[in-house]
Structure 1
Amino acid sequence: MKNLFPRLSLLAAALTLLTACPSEKPAETTSIPAAHALKVPSFNADSAYAYTARQVAFGPRVPNSKAHVACGNYLVATLKRFGLTVREQPFQAMTFDGTQISGRNIIAQYQPTAARRVALFAHWDTRPFADADKGAKKNKPMDGASDGASAVATALEIARVLSLQPDSLAPNVGVDIMLMDAEDWGYEADTQTEKKDQLSEADGNSSWCLGSQYWAKHLVPAGYKAEYGILFDMVGAKDGRFTREGTSLNNARSVVDKIWNTAAKLGYSDYFLFKDTSAILDDHVYTTQAGVPTVDIYDHPPFGDQFFPPYHHTTADNMSIIDRKTLKAVGQTVLQVLYEE
């Protein structure tokens, strides 16, 4: 993920915590203002934190690595355990530095026969180098605790909660969990001046979001349609702040309004800021092109001219920055949105 402006050319904790599965007892419901008194299940932040930690425990989930394969298998098995209909979409791609990788998009459907659908997107890979770090660290892989793992964990917890609901308490929409691969192996001109972007030079395509680019051209399920999508990206860090991103506003303004107004109603305006910011290049660009207008929820510094927080693409993106309060704000807001459809 990277900013589009001004460069417009680029469209443990104890081991038991890391390995234990969250309780699958029926979820509690969350109280909301009387005027909007729906029976919305409670998003369990402890569970989402555990899912984040479990992914990080595999090690950096860099395509072509053993950790990447193992984590992908875990995600598939977990979604199947929730009773969702799961499909895998393997693909081959070349990265900006000429590396041939094997990727895998993971698609899981809750209430797969429902006519109305909402997609929840996240990327599950990690960047192979912490190039925003200084010195020797910039060539090290990163944990991607917030950038990747927290997003997937939020989607997993929503899937878990939904799977526990009886038919009488299910939302009125089907929900699709779309875990995109190979999002983060892109060329960053500011930090990788010693390298060349072979991919963009070859065909003019972006070196970022390879999995979502592939999915957009080869939809799974075939002919897939949804009313809208929500992309989680970097949604777990302490003091996370989410602004109204430019591409989201241009293509899905009503959904942006729905999410941010719902967050305010639930008391999460300290996280979801009513501040409009410039467009970035992320998976939502390609999912929107595929016909699913998508809103990007990502951590944006509330002040200054930086697009991303200090931990972005550094080795500081580890479990020490993950905060249950941020996970709760995002997860509960999106659950509320789904139940109000």
Structure 2
Amino acid sequence: MNFRTLRFPLIALAGLLVLTGCPDKKNTETATTDAPAAPAEAPLPKAPVFNADSAYAFTAKQVAFGPRVPNSKAHKATGNWLVKKFKSYGLKVMEQPFEAMTFDGTYIKARNIVAQYQPQAARRVAIFGHWDTRPFADNDKTKKNAPMDGASDGASAVAVALEMARVLSQQPDSLAPNVGVDFILFDAEDWGHDDTTQADVKDMLEGSGTDSWCLGSQYWAKNLIPKNYKAEYGVLLDMVGAKGATFTREEISRAKAAFALDKIWNVAARLGYSDFFRYQDTGGITDDHVYTNQAGIPTIDIYHHNGNGGDYFPAYHHATQDNMSIIDRKSLKATGQTVLQALYVD
């Protein structure tokens, strides 16, 4: 999946102590799995239906291209398909090409992709994700150098964004949300240095001022497109399609975008998806939302976190098991319907 500088050292973020890896469960997690009692509320506004079968097909299509590693033919083909798909829905599409060096000294050509629904709207919401895959399954027990399908880690989030774009594009003006929506897909997010699995490999970006993870969002945050971009809030999707997915209330999300976090979790509870969206506070991680928050977009991170002790991330994380066999329409539905419905809630 993306992310993640994943699991280990502590980093300071605007005075906030954040874990890039496995947080100390005793200190950073609050085990409250039930939604707090709330007074009776008015019915949720009418919203379109998110089609989980369509999102599943979009996930499978990306995986069928092959591992989406920057500089590869599969990566280029996937990017071209994404651009074409968003354009077919009538969205305004912009590409942001950039070049970067990865932690192992590889020079890559990459591109961020931005697709705008209702670009004329003054009020905006950003839906973020990453569309690349990690070049090696370093967390795999037997195939540490094998490329990854990234079915949940990357493809599922992009699939949810595509299905949201497709559904929104079909709505008449009378059923359109009161906000414009920007689908912003970052590249080169997952080619980072893992301090645990790659302890014997030098991080050539260490001390450079550039994090080895999230290269695309770091570039976008410093070179915003659209220019001077602003949004009321952002939702980062990452690893949202696997069977048994559970999402917890991550620390940076709580600190930087509590109002958006509460909104999404409340909508999920009202839709009956509290088994997925757990009312459990967990430690911070390094993901693209670190840099979108730095760019002034209050952003939450929705990602599969075990939340029950043991390993911080699920077993398929950065392993060859992250393939279509783990993708579940129920997880895609819970994520997509919740985020789509939230666009209609002021």
Q: TM-score, normalised by structure 2?
A: 0.90
Give yes or no for the alignment of 1:140 onto 2:146.
yes
Of 302-311 and 53-62, deviating more is 302-311
Q: Which residue of 2 aligns with 1:2?
A: 4
The Cα offsets for residues 293-318 of structure 1, whole Å up to 9 and x where unpaired, read as 10000000021142211100000000
Pairing 1:249-288 to 2, within 5 Å after superposition: 249-288=254-293
Residue deviations 1:195-234 (CA, integer Å, cap 9, x gap): 1100124x13210000000000000000000000000000
Report the CA distance shift for 1:237/1:5 in structure 2 as closer, same or farther (over 3 A): closer
Aligned to 1:28: none
Counterpart mapping for 1:63-212 below 5 A: 63-135=70-142, 137-201=143-207, 203-212=208-217
Where does structure 1 differ by over 2 angstroms across 4 or more consecutive aligned residues?
2-6
Instruction: Give the SS at the match of 1:134.
Output: coil
Structure 1 segments unaligned to the other structure (5+ residues): 12-32
Matches of 1:276 and 1:237, distance apart in 2: 21
- Alignment CA distance shift 1:10-1:76 (3 Å): farther
Shift of 1:39: 1.9
* Residue aligning to 1:217: 222
Higher relative contact order (CA 8 A, sep 6+): 2
- The runs of 5 or more residues in structure 2 that have no matched partner are 14-39
Matched residue of 1:260: which SS?
A: helix
Between the aligned partners of 1:104 and 1:3, the Cα distance in structure 2 is 21
Please list, as runs of the form range in 1=range in 2, the aligned pairs for 1:30-45 lying within 5 A after superposition: 35-45=42-52
Q: Are the equivalent residues in 2 in contact too, given 1:46–1:324 (CA < 8 A)? A: yes
Select 2:339's aligned residue among 330, 334, 338.
334
Counterpart Cα distance in 1 of 2:204 and 2:227: 31
- Structure 2 match to 1:240: 245
Q: 3-state DSSP class of the match of 2:249? A: strand
Contact 2:5 2:194 in 1 (8 A): no
Asked if the contact 1:62–1:126 (Cα under 8 Å) also holds between the matched residues in 2, the reply is: yes
Give the drift of 1:5.
6.2
Which residue of structure 1 lines up, in the alignment, with residue 59 of structure 2? 52
The residue that corresponds to 2:20 in the other structure is: none
Read off the aligned partner of 1:182 and give its amino acid letter. Answer: A
Kindly report the root-mean-square deviation, in angstroms, between the aligned alpha carbons of the 2 structures: 1.4
Q: Distance in 2 between matches of 1:249 and 1:4?
A: 18
> Hey, what's the Cα distance between the residues in 2 that align with 1:156 and 1:36?
27
Decide whether the 8 Å contact of 1:10 with 1:281 is kept in 2: no
Tell me which of 288, 298, 308 is aligned to 2:303: 298
> 2:5·2:213 contact (CA, 8 Å) conserved in 1?
no
Q: Where is the helix percentage greater, Structure 1 or Structure 2?
A: 1
CA positional deviation for 1:70: 0.1
Deviation of 1:3 after TM superposition, in Å, equals 5.6
3-state SS, counterpart of residue 118 of structure 1: strand
Mapped partners of 2:93, 2:279: distance in 1:
36
Cα distance change of structure 1 residues 4 and 97 upon mapping to structure 2, 3 Å threshold: closer
Secondary structure of 2:336's counterpart equals helix
Task: State which of 314, 321, 326 in structure 1 corresponds to 2:326.
Answer: 321
Deviation (angstroms), 1:2: 2.2
CA distance change for structure 1 residues 125 and 263 in 2, over 3 Å: closer, same or farther?
A: same
Structure 2: distance between partners of 1:179 and 1:235: 15
Q: Against the structure 1 CA distance between its residues 6 and 59, is the aligned structure 2 distance closer, same or farther, given a 3 Å change threshold? A: closer
CA–CA distance in structure 1, aligned partners of residues 313 and 193 of structure 2:
16
CA deviation map 1:84-142 (0-9, x unaligned): 0000000000000000000100000000010000000000000000000123x100100
Q: Percent identity over the alignment?
A: 68
| Deviation readout 1:164-189 (Å, 9 max, x if unpaired) | 00011100000000000000000001
- TM-score, structure 1 normalization: 0.91
- Aligned residue pairs total 318
Task: Return the alpha-carbon distance in structure 2 between the equivalents of residues 100 and 9 of structure 1.
Answer: 26
Name the amino acid aligned to 1:117: R
Secondary structure, aligned partner of 1:187: coil
Shift of 1:339: 0.8
